[in-house]
């Protein structure tokens, strides 16, 4: 291992420009892929926040006994799709309306706002079919006068979400593929620049494993350093966007570590494939 590391250092000293170029190519390729991932990640978070607003409101007929409503609340809370049920009295509805639409606060009167049950659903149970099914069950209670959940809005939201997910997957694969091609080509150039050295090592009887070792370590280190540089560039970009545009959430630590690992693996595989081809030629 120590001999292989010395070979890596010697090769870098012979052609530092090529080594630095390889690292920067890896870094910027992963940065472009990571930047797309950052936008996709924040888009997903924004859609999740919008999804949390999906709720069903069941309006209670005037004069319904409190005990009947309380019993229904307990029953509805037991629905597997439901996370919470809140009883909203006419007074509570009036206060909420005057806060949310302050410019019309003098227009609202308690008698115009009926009592209602505000039903929120669990994550994973907010698609149009499940929301509609729960709304239908709520409509079955005799004291429920009307059920509303913004059916058209829910349908459009999930259409947008499905389209965003599909586009994210397709573009993500395209970016990843492009990054792998660019990184692989750069590392291949680095290996080809040392083809004469590989031929000499073969002539003196060096085994394929001995020849491969320094190149594999070289590719691994370039990928690792490039991955760390890409993460740093993404953090700087995210900070700049947050300061000038709007708040961007950064990747969780496990995702960042995975990104650095991906850089190392791409560098390792790129070197392995390039050296393998070169060994077949000599």
In order of their start, the domains of the chain are: 2-49+158-281 (no CATH), 55-148 (3.30.70.3040)
List Cβ neighbours of 275 (8 Å cut-off, separation of 6 or more): 191, 198, 211, 212, 215, 216
- For the chain, the maximum distance between any two Cα atoms, rounded to a whole number of angstroms, is 99
What pLDDT digit, counting tens, does each position of 219-273 carry? 788 888 888 998 999 899 888 888 887 788 888 889 889 888 888 888 788 777 7
What pLDDT digit, counting tens, does each position of 68-107 carry? 888 888 899 999 999 999 888 887 877 776 766 655 555 5
* Both structure tokens of 24: 């920067």
* Both structure tokens of 282: 């000599």
The pLDDT of residue 119: 92
Q: What is the mean pLDDT of the chain?
A: 79
Is this model's pTM higher than 0.95 or not? Answer: no
Highest mean pLDDT among 53-57, 132-136, 181-185: 132-136
Determine the Cα angle at 169 with ends 168 and 173, to 5°: 115
Cβ-contact 222, 267 below 8 angstroms: yes
Mean pLDDT for the stretch of residues 133-138: 90
List Cβ neighbours of 175 (8 Å cut-off, separation of 6 or more): 32, 33, 36
Determine the Cα angle at 200 with ends 196 and 203, to 5°: 140
Cβ-contact 157, 51 below 8 angstroms: yes
Beta bridge partners of 148: 57
Determine the Cα angle at 139 with ends 137 and 145, to 5°: 160
Please return the burial class of 112, using the count of CB atoms within 10 Å of its CB with bins 0-12, 13-18 and 19+: exposed
């Amino acid at each position: 291992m120590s001999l292989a590391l010395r070979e890596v250092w010697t090769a870098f000293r012979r052609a530092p420009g090529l080594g630095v170029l390889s690292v920067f190519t890896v870094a910027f390729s992963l940065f472009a892929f990571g930047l797309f991932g950052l936008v996709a990640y924040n888009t997903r978070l924004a859609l999740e926040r919008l999804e949390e607003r999906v709720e069903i409101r069941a309006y209670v007929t005037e004069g319904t006994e409190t005990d009947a409503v309380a019993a229904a609340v307990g029953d509805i809370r037991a629905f597997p799709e439901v996370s919470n049920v809140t009883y909203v009295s006419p007074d509570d509805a009036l206060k909420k309306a005057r806060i949310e639409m302050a410019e019309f606060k003098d227009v609202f009167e308690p008698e115009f706002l009926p009592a209602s049950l505000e039903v929120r659903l669990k994550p994973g149970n907010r698609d149009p079919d499940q929301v509609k099914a729960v709304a239908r069950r709520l409509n079955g209670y005799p004291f429920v006068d009307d059920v509303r959940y913004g059916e058209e809005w829910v349908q459009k939201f999930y259409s947008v979400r499905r389209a965003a997910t599909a586009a994210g997957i397709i573009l993500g694969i395209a970016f990843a593929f492009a990054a792998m091609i660019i990184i692989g080509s750069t590392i291949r150039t680095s290996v080809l620049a040392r083809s004469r050295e590989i031929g000499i090592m073969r002539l003196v009887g060096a085994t394929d494993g001995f020849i491969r070792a320094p190149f594999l370590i070289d590719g691994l280190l370039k990928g690792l350093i490039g991955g760390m540089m890409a993460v740093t560039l993404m953090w700087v970009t995210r900070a700049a966007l947050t300061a000038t545009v709007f708040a961007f959430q950064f990747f969780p630590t496990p995702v960042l570590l995975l990104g650095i690992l991906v850089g190392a693996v791409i560098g390792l595989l790129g070197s392995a494939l390039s050296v393998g081809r070169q060994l077949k030629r000599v």
